[in-house]
Amino acid sequence: MRATLDFLLNDWLDVEALTQRPRFADHSRETFDSVLDTCERIAREKFAPFNRLTDTEEPRFDGKRVHLPEATHAAMQAYVASGMLAASQDYELGGMQLPCVVEMGARSFFSAASVAMGGYAMLTQGNAHLLMAHGTAVQKEVFAKNELAGRWFGTMCLSEPQAGSSLSDVATRATPDGDGYADDPLGPRYRLKGNKMWISAGEHELTENIVHLVLAKIPGPDGKTIPGVRGISLFIVPKKLADTEGRLTGERNDVALAGLNHKLGYRGTTNTLLNFGEGRFPVRGQAGAIGYLVGEPGKGLACMFHMMNEARIGVGLGATMLGYAGYLASLEYARQRPQGRPVGPGGKDAAQPQVAIIEHADVKRMLLAQKAYCEGALALELYCARLVDEQHTAAGETSAEAALLLEVLTPIAKSWPSEWCLEANSLAIQVHGGYGYTRDFPVEQYWRDNRLNMIHEGTHGIQGLDLLGRKVVMDGGKGLALLADRVNRTIEGAMQHPELAEHANALAQALAHVGRATKAAWATGHPADALANATPYLQAFGHTVLAWIWLEVGLCAAQREASDFTRGKLAAAAYFFRYELPKIGPWLAVVEARDTTCREMQEAWF
Amino acid sequence: MRATLDFLLNDWLDVEALTQRPRFADHSRETFDSVLDTCERIAREKFAPFNRLTDTEEPRFDGKRVHLPEATHAAMQAYVASGMLAASQDYELGGMQLPCVVEMGARSFFSAASVAMGGYAMLTQGNAHLLMAHGTAVQKEVFAKNELAGRWFGTMCLSEPQAGSSLSDVATRATPDGDGYADDPLGPRYRLKGNKMWISAGEHELTENIVHLVLAKIPGPDGKTIPGVRGISLFIVPKKLADTEGRLTGERNDVALAGLNHKLGYRGTTNTLLNFGEGRFPVRGQAGAIGYLVGEPGKGLACMFHMMNEARIGVGLGATMLGYAGYLASLEYARQRPQGRPVGPGGKDAAQPQVAIIEHADVKRMLLAQKAYCEGALALELYCARLVDEQHTAAGETSAEAALLLEVLTPIAKSWPSEWCLEANSLAIQVHGGYGYTRDFPVEQYWRDNRLNMIHEGTHGIQGLDLLGRKVVMDGGKGLALLADRVNRTIEGAMQHPELAEHANALAQALAHVGRATKAAWATGHPADALANATPYLQAFGHTVLAWIWLEVGLCAAQREASDFTRGKLAAAAYFFRYELPKIGPWLAVVEARDTTCREMQEAWF
């Protein structure tokens, strides 16, 4: 995995070029490598050996406290000590000014070693980054800095028991906290009441405090809230209150753990139902959780999307690395496990010794599929992270383009690994045979863990609606046109290489097909017509994007001296083009036809 | 589910027609219905409420005994009391002379309610059926009859720790047990030594005895065994020895539980590693498990395939009903869960009340996909069971055709539901959103349970090799030709119905494509060329078979008076033809091209 990561970062994405930019001027290939080395080591020593333990000893709530394994505490301490929480931040903030793409590479080790333990860090970083972008100076100082230093961890509180995908229906309310509410130095002070569901890292004792970022609605003078997402505001609701110096005041806020969710996987991250402001912990003499407004009232969702977009790429990386971990486990197993014999012209000769199962064509197929899914997905996530760096540090036009491309790619970066690296995990089980179905091998846990990723941070269906309903049509299709331009550049380059020309042609056709399907979907102008098949569209779009990424990676490999490593990359690219890309045909067919089979199905007919 | 089952059995498969045959002459629609009623009730009362319990309280071995929940004992008692174990047997044997297809329908209730508990019965029946076909009169009397009466349960012991898919490499040995070994009234008596892995129901105290059917090799005079499957013989190895009257002699056989496997799912069935003959329980003064030869030496695998073919259809039914159970759970959830709003010409109006999620096109898609997968798979399994009845009770030519068709369809009956009803379970989780990922809802367990089915009783890869390597080429392709003939008859019938003509055309093209791909795969005559893509072939063949089944079912629905029920069947058929059947294109493309990407991949390139 390290060799592939190094190849993608250095040979393909040329991260060293970033050191030409002022922000990264102190960095070099050596400093980047050393960050990767450190993270690889911490993940290997503090995360991986305890991944199964975090599953079997899932978080336990005794009515007062949540208990986590000691190993989780130790892993978090090591992570915090590494300084990675603030890695991309300014030096003044204790950061390293590390490019996002290198940080993403470093984070991949933790996701592969224990995705659930890595969740705490991911949420804390996302939370702090949001505050750095949208918080006041004091909010940054008090909340974000404590998070970046790892003294406090963070959460994002969007869903409610009755409102998951439909954030319009958030029922948590925020009302001004007394007459002087607007003058609190920590931000306009409100009292929040409501329930938040599926809150990862919502309760634990890993850190002295927890910073909840909470979506809630501020009622108007008539006591009513504005329907829809326009009525949503964003609040900082710390578990324990703090002063303007970031010190705990000793006051417990009115945020109570109603219960832990007991999940299929991802058990190492606590997942909670939180009650805000129900009076379990009255604060300053009354019920209601104290929260400080972030940004403007009614603009909460826009702020939250800062964190959501980051979280979506983070989910994609987590899904990718779960797939990758399964791939490596099944590859190792297939190399060692003797079983069966090669099939010769006359069948099999039982008198011959058995061979390792990696010799069988179907096992190779299952390994190659995993390689194509997981290495491709990793390349995509790193590419997106590289776009974040472009957005933040490149010149005007380039920066704007990167931001636009990132918008179009985010639904794919989130959904594609969630679907296909889960499939990779299933193949990893299959390679192991019966052993893979036991808890003595790691692959079943990866598969269970990975099943979450199509659900959280916007379900698969939501990603499809985002892509076809918004991203490819916004600004008159500017984002899609930009992507097509990039893809065409890759195609042109690949046409020069005989072994890639076949793939380049296939990609050109796929791209044209996606373009036609996009137009056909919207031909009537009715969202209901277009969006009825948004998920198959998402799948086809995703496979096309991954084919492009594989052509990019293949092109990079083809330009290097041939070796086992480059042959592997070219074989995985070939697998993707021959076995995977053709799948877009059936998906796009229903999109183009605006097939009504599903939407016209009636409830009574089921 | 009952309405669909009744429709498939009566309207489509016309099971009542079977009562014209002498064997089933005492039966009627009423007796069939009453069997279904009874099984539906037992499954509802004794199985379904405890399905989660069998998962959370998985079998525990205290070093001496295996402990199962009391609920499992109660469920088994109720099942045995129903007489279903012997349902298809002769009246003289305590059976009901029930057609296999009705028995399969009845069994579906248990698989849906608790597939793991149902496993004990399935194995016992399969074991007894094998003995009824291949055992001596005494073996039938002693072992099969006790199994059919539910006093003893049975197992099938094929795999070993070092030999799963590769039965050639079975290392368990059987040597004659003393000079008079050939004269034992229970059958030629051997001593077995070896280890058997993945043995479901291999140890428990649900019954007073366990009848193991064990594959082992008999060494020649030189002490060597014959390589390959030709050297394999089959033995009855009871846990406790019995006399010729079927009474326990009080002697414990030398079969010891080495350990329980701790699985991802299917936990309600004990799964064991058994040591045969290691001396843990010396019997008649020496180590070695006493076993009685079934059939001829060296013909063991052929006998075992009697049970395996039955078990494969049983696995298919189990996978189907797990999918079906998830479909019904998610359908109920989708009808009750409010979330979001319909998308109108101008988008969504947040001021409107929320709707049940079943109103959303993408949720309908996920439910319709499940319906198409699971009802289609159930129809296929019942069709196969109907073929078993034809094979056993129809006249010569018809019987032979049924047997041949069954051979071709068995790999599909086993593999297709294992893959696609697992996908249905994943969709059932997705419909539930975050709730589906918790252990508070049943769908995550179905998904875990179902993951086994692509592995046991011959992996997916093995089914592909069986289909493309044997079934479609045997007898010069006679089986494939027969299937094509049946499919063409359905196409002709469907062409008469305007709403089915489009599907009929699509199926005709698919069938022709499968035919071309089969020829192209074998064009060089080299098994390695043909079989490199046996799994994609299996997938394409399976989707084509299911399309045929759906056209059959659609035709049957179209001939009835239109109702919500028939519209649902026609919608599911339409879904299958529009969203699923086109997937065969990419699968067959690599088969036709004899694509070498996978087989030429080298270990060092991964």
- Smallest CA-to-CA distance from B554 within B588, B489, B503, B483 is with B503
φ, ψ at A293 (rounded to 5°): -60, 140
Count the neighbouring beta carbons within 10 Å of the beta carbon of residue A335.
Answer: 14
Nearest-5° angle of CA B170, CA B173, CA B177?
155
Residues B402, B418: one domain? yes
Tell me what the mean pLDDT of segment B162-175 comes to. Answer: 92
Nearest to A340 by CA among B128, B228, B147: B228
Over residues A545-558, the mean pLDDT reads 98
Last residue of a domain, one of B111, B143, B175: B143
Where residue B605 falls among pLDDT bands split at 50, 70, 90?
very high
Please indicate if any CB of chain B lies within 8 Å of the CB of A68.
no
Of chain A, the percentage scoring pLDDT greater than 90 comes to: 94
Same domain, residue pair B49 and B197: no
Question: B573 and chain A: CB distance < 8 Å anywhere?
Answer: no
A419 is a domain residue: yes
Minimal C-alpha gap between A582 and chain B (Å): 5
Choosing from A112, A143, A174, the residue where a domain stops is: A143
* pLDDT (0 to 100) of residue A7: 98
pLDDT in tens, B4-42: 999 999 999 999 999 999 999 999 999 999 999 999 999
Residue B171 in any domain: the answer is: yes
Residue A306 has pLDDT above 80, yes or no: no
How many structural domains is chain A composed of? 4
Per-residue pLDDT, B25: 97
Q: Kind and range of the H or E element at A193?
A: strand A189-200
Would you state the pLDDT for residue A575? 98
B226 and B261 both lie in a single domain = yes
pLDDT-based confidence at residue B164 (cuts at 50, 70, 90): confident
- The neighbouring-strand residues paired with A473 are none
Q: Are B211 and B127 in contact (CB under 8 A)?
A: yes
Residues of B in contact with A264 (CB under 8 A): 429, 437-439, 444, 447-448
On the 0-12 / 13-18 / 19+ scale of CB atoms within 10 A, A242 is buried
Residue A390: burial class (beta carbons within 10 Å; 0-12, 13-18, 19+): buried
Cα atoms in the 13 Å half-sphere on the side-chain side of A73:
11
Q: Are residues B132 and B212 in the same domain?
A: no
Residue B365 is predicted with a pLDDT of 98
Average pLDDT, integer, range B284-289: 97
Contacts of B574 in chain A (CB under 8 A): 597
pLDDT band of residue B118 (cuts 50, 70, 90) is very high
Is the pLDDT assigned to residue B228 strictly greater than 90?
no
Asked, for residue B148, whether it belongs to a domain, the answer is: no
A502 falls in which pLDDT band (50, 70, 90)? very high
- pLDDT (0 to 100) of residue A477: 96
- Eight-class DSSP state of A44: I
pTM of the entire predicted model: 0.98
Domain match, A17 and A85 both: yes
Q: Is A466 inside any structural domain? A: no
Inspect the interface and report whether the beta carbons of B437 and A263 lie closer than 8 Å.
yes
Higher pLDDT, B91 or A306: B91
The pLDDT value given to residue A351: 85
Angstrom distance (rounded) from CA B606 to CA B593? 23
* Chain A positions in Cβ-Cβ contact with residue B593 (cut-off 8 Å): 578
Based on the fold, state whether residues A105 and A18 are members of the same structural domain.
Answer: yes
* pLDDT-derived band at B165, boundaries 50, 70, 90: confident
Q: What is the mean pLDDT of residues A148-162?
A: 96
pLDDT tens-digit series, residues A445-498: 999 999 999 999 999 999 999 999 999 999 999 999 999 999 999 999 999 999
B314 shares a domain with B448: yes
pLDDT tens, residue by residue, B72-116: 999 999 999 999 999 999 999 889 999 999 999 999 999 999 999
Residues paired with residue A276 on neighbouring β-strands, in sequence order: A194, A255
User: pLDDT by residue (tens digit) across B399-442?
Assistant: 999 999 999 999 999 999 999 999 999 999 999 999 999 999 99
Q: Among A457, A552, A580, A592, which one carries the catalytic annotation?
A: A457
Number of residue pairs across A and B with CB atoms under 8 Å?
Answer: 281
B350 pLDDT more than 90: no
Which residues on adjacent β-strands are paired with residue B493? none
pLDDT bucket at B310, cuts 50 / 70 / 90: confident
Residues forming beta bridges with residue B152, ordered by sequence position? B209
Tell me: pLDDT of B173 over 90: yes
Higher pLDDT, A467 or A350: A467
User: H/E element holding B569?
Assistant: helix B564-575
pLDDT in tens, B122-139: 999 999 999 999 999 999
Is residue A307 pLDDT above 80, yes or no?
Answer: no
Residue A17 pLDDT: 97
Residue B19 belongs to domain with CATH number = 1.10.540.10
pLDDT tens per residue across span A158-209: 999 998 888 989 999 999 999 999 999 999 999 999 999 999 999 999 999 9
Quick check: helix, strand or coil at residue A234?
strand
Condensed to tens digits (0 to 9), the pLDDT of residues A413-433 reads 999 999 999 999 999 999 999
Residue B266 lies in a domain: yes
* pLDDT given for residue B305 in this prediction: 85
Residue A350 sits at the chain B interface (C-beta within 8 Å) = yes
Please report which confidence band the pLDDT of residue A228 belongs to, taking 50, 70 and 90 as the band edges: confident
| End-of-domain residue from the set B433, B458, B483 | B458
pLDDT (0 to 100) of residue A275:
98
> Domain of A327: which CATH number?
1.20.140.10
**A148 in a structural domain:** no
Q: Which residues are bridge partners to B153 per DSSP?
A: B210
pLDDT of residue A458: 93
Domain check: are B288 and B303 in the same one?
A: no
Q: Compute the mean pLDDT over every residue in chain A, rounded to the nearest whole number.
A: 96
Confidence at residue A252, expressed as pLDDT on a 0 to 100 scale: 98
Residues A307 and A450 in one domain: yes
Residue (of A96, A116, A113) closest to A39 by Cα position: A113
CB nearest B345 (choices: A340, A526, A599): A526
- Residue in B338, B350, B356 closest to A228 by CB: B350
Give residue A541's pLDDT: 98
Does residue A286 belong to any structural domain of this protein?
yes
Q: Reply yes or no on whether B457 is catalytic.
A: yes
Residue A48 contacts B, CB cutoff 8 Å: no
Percent of chain A with pLDDT over 70: 100
Q: A350, B228: Cβ pair inside 8 Å?
A: yes
pLDDT at A164: 87
CATH number of domain containing B189 = 2.40.110.20
Which of B170, B264, B440 should be substituted to probe chain A, the one whose Cβ sees the most A Cβ atoms within 10 Å?
B264
- The number of residues in chain A equals 606
pLDDT at B194: 98
ipTM of the complex: 0.97
Whether A287 and A310 map to the same domain: the answer is no
Q: Is B360 on the interface with A (CB under 8 A)?
A: yes
- Given this model, what pLDDT does residue A402 score? 96
For residues B385 and B528, state if they share a domain. Answer: no
Range of the domain at B74: 2-143
- The answer to the question of residue A22 being in a domain is yes
Give the pLDDT of residue A582: 98
Whether B315 and B437 share a structural domain: yes
Q: How high is the mean pLDDT of chain B?
A: 96
